[in-house]
Structure 1
């Protein structure tokens, strides 16, 4: 996660994700009180988008949570009801259950207070993990610059709802709600986080109450059963072609693996089962790896014992290199890889394959604070194995959640859902 330039520790440090406070409406009277209604819009980052991810920060306040019992202006309340009904009709037309409507309404409440705003936090000093400006708009604060569509699309409530439910491609495979394993029964804020990738995975819990109030007022049946016949159209979407751009933690510019296979979670793509030829740790520099807090440059131009050093070694090894014959390093392909969180953009800039589909012997990538043990610098690991049910087993260095602190190897004993990884970076061809 750390490079010679930054020396940022890649463990569980918090990433402050600023909030943008926007005065949506001036003053209105409730009895003899003058009340200022303030909306707080959370930055979407890498498609909430950020993310990836994958990030501990002070809790973002859901816009809907500002309702303290005094009520909101009638015109805004009416819009909340109208947008909630659009979300519900869209989910029902796709054959999804009432729980999908509930989850989407809570997500929109947490992002925009169910108001279809045409702005986000641009111009407020908030940036994506790769340094680019955020472009969040609409009910779900989807970023136009991260593959979620045009301004017209992300501010069209029906289109934006389809994107949240089915993924940016509306295909049930490109990181929408239906690609999240166990989405109908999982903790709602965590399920939404897997799609939106807010800086705080618990952000949406504050919106449960306000959203349920709107759901009741709008007369929405959240106990509606799914209709599999209505799901056939989007579930039958053809596999993406290599020329398309994938969306994984905010979109990619590299090519996309065109792999078949759907998991039992309702559309999430699974990789081909298999494992590396040797499941043992092959990192060759443990003997010279320093203690925690000490950073020495290694032969692949990262720091010994960091996650980036290990992942770079594995790529180098797969490409036919050795400790004395380095093929892949920090500058290979003409683009510096940097911290773990920067690897995905470097892969894209080099035109290498970035995918949501796991592949044995590929780099597992997380954006800043994108998962357990992942800090503000992001993280990279290695896909050692894909199980028969499509789950992945990761090996890595310097993830304090799975190993003792400081430059230590770990191999996760429990396979994880592939969607828990921000993206998969395929090893480039020589």
Structure 2
């Protein structure tokens, strides 16, 4: 096989010693990784009489500031504060409403909280700070909320019918929180905004380790995850572990223990089958942190083994940014890459249990 093709998609115990290629001819463009934000802690409100955000009144901004202030008092991260503002936008447009709706005629306040005893008195629900505090305590009680998509995290607290109801309010919430905090942090492209560490850039811990081409197909080329170092599958499995809270040895998900039937997760070729065997969801919608699966030959991937990557960012124009390893021909193989891809190109997206496809 030509040395101009890149090594990709090798799993140590399944395909030892094989060398195969991957050239993505469909790529729209290469995007450099952005550094993670320096501060993912609470954002401090810097609201004064001159603060303006296009499309929002002084009353709405004052209510958003109250939400952020409640979050800071509870040591809620900037991401959590933004989720809280997003939910208030989706429920009331950042207004203290003294009326409900058809599904909830007794709903009141910024968060449209019900009169069921869970959200305090009528006065509590109508008070921006108290109602925000109660919402945030509910958010913090959701196991792993930081790993969820913002709209899913909000839905776990509010329990509204459509879990994706809040999704369209996220960009506006980011804009408002940035404006009210003086713009001293950025959610875009940082681990503050994304599940796990997806999107944080090239934080793969074995980026300087030798590939199997350099040392042969022996155990010296095996990462702690049981894949060959600097292969697409090893990077993707690293991201899976991160997002499920396993960031150091002993790692929770390995090539040899991922599938409940005892088979190895294997090369990229078998990842879809591995997901199915584990009972994890798949779908056609890109979600940040989901594994991108290319069947053999799809999108220019290797005709025998395909390719896997990870969704780094979802765009509004029908594309997403994927990140991965070993997706370029030599001399850029076995290294980190990002690029924008049409959402219709991959065979499917492999979701983690804390992700789901909109129905």
Please, what TM-score do these two structures have when normalized by structure 1? 0.37
Report the TM-score, using the length of structure 2 for normalisation: 0.43
